[in-house]
Structure 1
C-alpha cells in the first residue's frame, strides 16, 4: 500500500506493474466499502492490464487527519473540469459524487496516469461517470458495476435515506468483535452467501468509515437534484459506457441499470451496453469475479481494437 495526500487527506492506493496495454484500469469502490473488494478481479487482470485501486476519502485507509482544515477551492485551479455549470454546482459539498471525482482527478494527475478506463461499483459507478465528464481527455471509457438509477422516487428515496441514517447510528467500534457478526454480512445484498473473509472485511469497513463521510455521501448522492442529473450526465458523455448488472441485485435492480444506460449514445446507436450477470447480487466483483474480469477485459480489448482501426 502507498499513500498520496489529496486536499489534506492521505489516500491509500495500490498500483500494479505497467503492461503493454496503453490503458490503466482504475477501480472505484462503493459506499462503506474499500479498495480490497477489487482484489479478486484485479488478480485476474493485472498480468496484462495495469490496475489502480484506492480508498475513497473517509473510507478504508483514506482517513482525514484530525488537525487538517482544507478547502476544495484552493486546488480547483489545478484541475481541468468541464466548464458546464451543472458540474461546477456539484462542488459545493465535499461528499457529492462530483467532489469525489475531483479527488480522483488529483490522484491520476499525481500518478501521471493519462489514459484510463474507470470501473466503478455502485456509488463508485456514479463517481466514475462524473470523472469521465470532468476529464474527457484522460478517461477513455467507463464500466459501471451494480450502478444505475436516474429516477427519483420521492417516497422510496426518503425511506432509503432514513434507513441509511439509522444504520449509521449503530456503529460502535466493538461491533466487529461480536462473535458471528460477520454471518449477518455474508448474506447482506448478495445472491449467494459470501466467504467469511469478505463478510469480516465488510464489518471492518462499516465500523471504521468516517462518520461525516459516511453520512455525507449517503445524503449528497441521493438528493432529487443529484438523481435527476444522472441521465443528463450519461447522455453527454462521448466515451463508451458499459453497465454490468447483477440479475438478482435487489439494491440496484437491472431495470434501473437499463434505464440509466438507455441515455448513452452506445445504447441507442451500437446495441445494448448492459450486460446482465446471472446468479449475482449487488457485489458482483466478489460474487462473480471471473465473469466481471472477463467482461472488463473483453470491453477494453474491443474498444482498443476500434481505436486502433481508426
Structure 2
C-alpha cells in the first residue's frame, strides 16, 4: 500500500526546456517513461511551437532563464524542482538555476556542453541557423537566441555559470551525437562542483525522443538519490 502511494506522489516537479527550433512535445517519449511517479512539465519556450513571446521578453539567454525560473516556481507551487535542459535549453536552465534557491534540487543537461569559443564553426552555425529560422513562428526569438548563445561572451561565460551551481547536476551525452559531441559535454561538466556524467552508447542529439527507455534508466536512479534523505 505504501509503495503504491509513493508512486502517486511525485518527489519533485520536473521542468523540461527544449532546444533551439524544437518544442515541448519532443520530451513526450521520456515523459511516458517517468510518469506518474515523476510529475513532468515540458512547455514550449516563448516564440517556439505554439507559445507566443511576450513583447517585453528579450531573445537572450539571461532573459529566457528568468522566464523559466518564474514559470517553474509558479508551476511547482512550493514543491521541489528539478530542471532538465536539452542543447540550447540547457543554457537556459543554467541561467535559471541561480534564481531558484533551495527549491531547486538538481539540474539535468542533455546534449549540452562547450564553453570554448570556436570562431569558424559558430559563424557557420549562425549562417545556417538564421536561414532555418525563417521556418520558425517567431523569427526574432529564434535568431536572437541563436546569435546570443554563440557570441564569444556567452560561450566564455558558461564555465563560470556551471562552477557556481549549488546543486547536483547530471550531464548526459549521446555516443553518436554529431551536434554536441561527448568531449564537449565532459569539458563543460568538469566545471560543476557536484556532477555526474553519462554517455548513452549509440544515442544521437535527441535521446529523449529516440532512446527514452535508455535515458530513463540513467535518469531515474539519479532522481531517486536526489529525493532520498541525505545523511
TM-score (norm 2): 0.91
Residues 133 and 19 of structure 1, relative CA distance in 2, 3 Å threshold: farther
After TM superposition, what 4+ stretches of structure 1 lie above 3 angstroms from structure 2? Answer: none
User: How far, CA to CA, are the matches of 1:256 and 1:108 in structure 2?
Assistant: 28
* Aligned alpha-carbon RMSD (Å): 1.7
Gaps of 5+ in 1: 1-17, 73-93, 172-206, 268-272
Bigger Rg over Cα: 1
Equivalent position of 1:302 in the other structure: 225
SS in 2 for 1:106: helix
> How do residues 246-257 of structure 1 correspond to structure 2 at under 5 angstroms?
246-257=174-185
Equivalent position of 1:55 in the other structure: 44
Cα shift readout 1:51-73 (whole Å, capped 9, x = no counterpart) = 11101000011024xxx7x435x
Equivalent position of 1:158 in the other structure: 123
Query: Is residue 2:134 matched to residue 1:134?
Result: no
CA contact (8 A) 2:82 2:106 kept: yes
Match of 2:209 among 286, 291, 299: 286
User: How far, CA to CA, are the matches of 1:113 and 1:216 in structure 2?
Assistant: 32
CA contact (8 A) 2:105 2:226 kept: no
Gaps of 5+ in 2: 1-6
Displacement of 1:22 after TM fit? 3.0
Query: Is residue 2:189 matched to residue 1:261?
Result: yes
Cα shift readout 1:244-265 (whole Å, capped 9, x = no counterpart) = 1000111001000000000011
Query: How many residue pairs were aligned?
Result: 224
Match of 1:226 among 154, 174, 182: 154
Equivalent position of 2:89 in the other structure: 124
CA contact (8 A) 1:26 1:116 kept: yes
Match of 1:71 among 56, 60, 65: 56
SS in 1 for 2:42: strand
CA contact (8 A) 1:98 1:130 kept: yes
Match of 2:166 among 224, 233, 238: 238
Cα shift readout 1:31-76 (whole Å, capped 9, x = no counterpart) = 0000111110001111211111101000011024xxx7x435xxxx
Displacement of 1:303 after TM fit? 2.0
Residues 153 and 208 of structure 1, relative CA distance in 2, 3 Å threshold: closer
More deviation, 99-108/53-62: 99-108
Displacement of 1:113 after TM fit? 4.5
SS in 1 for 2:101: coil
Equivalent position of 2:80 in the other structure: 115
Equivalent position of 1:144 in the other structure: 109
Displacement of 1:283 after TM fit? 0.7
TM-score (norm 1): 0.69
Cα shift readout 1:185-231 (whole Å, capped 9, x = no counterpart) = xxxxxxxxxxxxxxxxxxxxxx3431111111110111100000000
Query: Is residue 2:99 matched to residue 1:99?
Result: no
User: How far, CA to CA, are the matches of 1:309 and 1:113 in structure 2?
Assistant: 20
